[in-house]
Amino acid sequence: MTAPQGNPSLVVALAMLIGTVSQLIAHHLKIPGIVLFLLAGVFFGPEVLGWVQPSSLGFALESIVGFAVAIILFEGGMVLNLHFLRRQGKNVQRLIFVGALLTPLGGAFLAHFLMGWSWTLSLLFGTLVIVTGPTVITPIVSRINLQHNLGTILEAEGIFIDALGASIAIVALELVFLDSSSWLLPGAWGLFARLSLGGILGVLGGLLVRQVLHRWSHWVPEGLENVLIMSFAFALFEGTNMLVSEGGITAVIIAGLLVGESNKQLTQQIKDFKGQIAALLIPTLFVLLSANVKIAGILALGWQGLLVVFGLMFLVRPLVVLLSFIGSDLKFREKIFLSWLAPRGIVAAAVASLFAHRLHTGGIAGGDGLYSLVFLVIAITVILQGLSGGWVANKLGLQRTEYSGTMFLGANALARLCALALEAKGEEVILVD
C-alpha cells in the first residue's frame, strides 16, 4: 500500500479508523485503549508501515489538535461531579498547586543531572510533565470502578492541572526567548493573564450558554443543542487563544463546569453527545501524535531517559502527594494509590509538539530530544499505570462494587443526616421524596 503522504484527508481518516479499531480491541482485551493508541500510532506511522504521515497535515495538525482539546476539556468540565468536588475541594486544590510547584522542579532536576541537558531545556521539560489530563485519567478511573472520592480527586486534578500546567509551560517557553535579566515580571504577568482572562471568558461564555439553554431554548430547534454547544466550545477556545496563547484551555474548562450544572436532563444529552465525540477524537489524536515520534529519538535517550521517567513516578509524584495531603482525612492506602496513578495525556503531547517546533525555528537545540522524552513519559506512565491501576486499587481495597450506594425513601431530617454521614465516607447516596 502506498503511503498517503500527499493526501491529508486520507491521513486523518486512517488515524480515525485505526484509533477506533484499537479502542474496540482494547475493550475486548479489557485494557486501557490509550495503550493501543500509542502503539498503533508508532506502528502505522512513518517509522514502521508509513501509512499515517502526520507531516502531510502541516499546520492543519495544530488546528485539529486545538479542536479536539477544546471539545475534550469542555466535556471534561461538564461531566465533573461537582457534588463530590465540593467535598474534596481542599484536597484537589492542594494537589494541583503543590504539583504545579514541585513537578516542574523535580522534572528539571532529573533531566539536568541524568540527561545532561541545560537548565533551560530541563525546566521546559519540567513544565511539560506537570499535566496529567482527563484523556487518560477518566477512562482508567471508569474502567477500574474506583471509589468516588478518589475518582473525583484524580479527574478534577487532571482537568484543572491542564489549564494551570499548560499556561506555566507556555510562559516558560516565552521566557526562553527573553533576556534572562527580565524574566520575573513578564513571567508573572503572562501566567496571570492566561488564567484570569481565560477564567473570565469561561464564566461569561458558560453563563451565556446557560441562558440560551434555559430562557432562549425556543430559539434552538430540538436536536441542535449539541451542535450549538460544540461549536461554541471550539469558538471560545480559539477566540481566547487569539487574545492570549493557551488561555482557551482555562476558558473551556470553566464554561464546561457552568454548563454541566444547568438543566440536568438537557445537559445529560449534551454530555452523552460530547462523550461520543471525545471517544472519536481521543484515539485519533493519540494515533497522529504518536506517529510523529521517531524511534531513534527514543532510543537515543538511553537508560538515562528511563531513569527520568521512573524518577517522576517513584520520587516526584509520591512527594507531591505526601506534601499535598498532610493533615488531610485521606487514608494512607488512598495516598498510595494517588501516588501511583498520574499518567500524562494529550495536552502534554500537544504542547511538547509545539515546543519542539518553536525551539527548532528559534535556533535552539534540543527540541526533538525534549519531544522524545515527553513521549517516553506518556508511554510508560500510560502503559504501566493504565494496565496496573485496577490491580493496585483492588489490592488496596479501593474499588467499589458495581451497584454501590444507598437510597433513602424519604428526605426527612433523619434521612438527610444519615445521607451526609454516608457521603462523608465517599459513598453515593440518593434521597427519594
Per-residue pLDDT tens for 1-19?
A: 455 556 788 888 898 999 9
Please check whether residue 75 is in contact with residue 256, taking contact to mean a CB–CB distance below 8 angstroms: yes
Which of the two residues, 206 and 249, has the higher pLDDT score? 206
- 42-51, 186-195, 322-331, 385-394: the lowest-pLDDT one: 186-195
pLDDT at 105 over 90: yes
95, 354, 373 from 65: Cα distances, Å: 27, 11, 20
Task: Please determine, for residue 383, whether its predicted confidence score (pLDDT) is greater than 80.
Answer: yes
Residue with more model confidence, 395 or 347: 395
Q: In the numeric block, which cell numbers belong to residue 281?
A: 477524537
pLDDT exceeds cutoff 90 at 216: no
Answer yes or no: is pLDDT of 387 > 60: yes
Q: Check: CB of residue 304 under 8 Å from CB of residue 65.
A: no
Q: What is the pLDDT of residue 182?
A: 46
Residue 205 in contact with residue 236, Cβ under 8 Å? yes
> Cell match 484509533: residue?
19
Tell me how many degrees the CA angle 347-351-353 measures, rounded to the nearest 5: 120
Domain 8-400 matching CATH 1.20.1050.140: the answer reads no
In angstroms, how far apart are the furthest CA atoms of the chain? 71
Average pLDDT over residues 25-52: 86
Q: C-alpha grid cell for residue 380?
A: 510508560
Is the four-CA dihedral 367, 368, 370, 374 of positive or negative sign?
positive
| Side-chain half-sphere exposure of 3, counting CA atoms within 13 A | 14
Asked if residues 340 and 144 have their Cβ atoms less than 8 Å apart, the reply is no
What is the mean predicted confidence (pLDDT) over 71-89? 68
Amino acid at 369: G
pLDDT at 86: 64
Of 83-92, 192-201, 265-274, which one has max mean pLDDT?
192-201
Residue closest to 333 by CA, chosen among 102, 150, 76: 150
Q: Is 31 in contact with 278 (CB distance < 8 Å)? A: no
Question: Could you give the CA distance from residue 407 to residue 389 in angstroms, rounded to a whole number?
Answer: 29
pTM over cut 0.95: no
Q: Average pLDDT of 423-433? A: 58
Output the pLDDT for position 206.
84
DSSP 192-227: HHHHHHHHHHHHHHHHHHHHHHHTSGGGS-TT-HHH
Residue-level pLDDT at 274: 66
Beta bridge partners of 409: 432
In 3D, which of 351, 356, 350 has the Cα closest to residue 371? Answer: 356
Which amino acid appears at position 306 of this protein? L
Q: What integer best gives the mean pLDDT of the chain?
A: 79
Instruction: Give the residue-averaged pLDDT of 267-284.
Output: 73
- pLDDT at 112 (0 to 100): 92
Instruction: List the domain boundaries for the chain.
Output: 8-400, 405-433
Per-residue exposure over 181-200, b if at least 16 CB sit within 10 Å of its own CB, e if not = eeeeeebeebbebbbebbbe
> What single letter denotes the amino acid at residue 95?
L
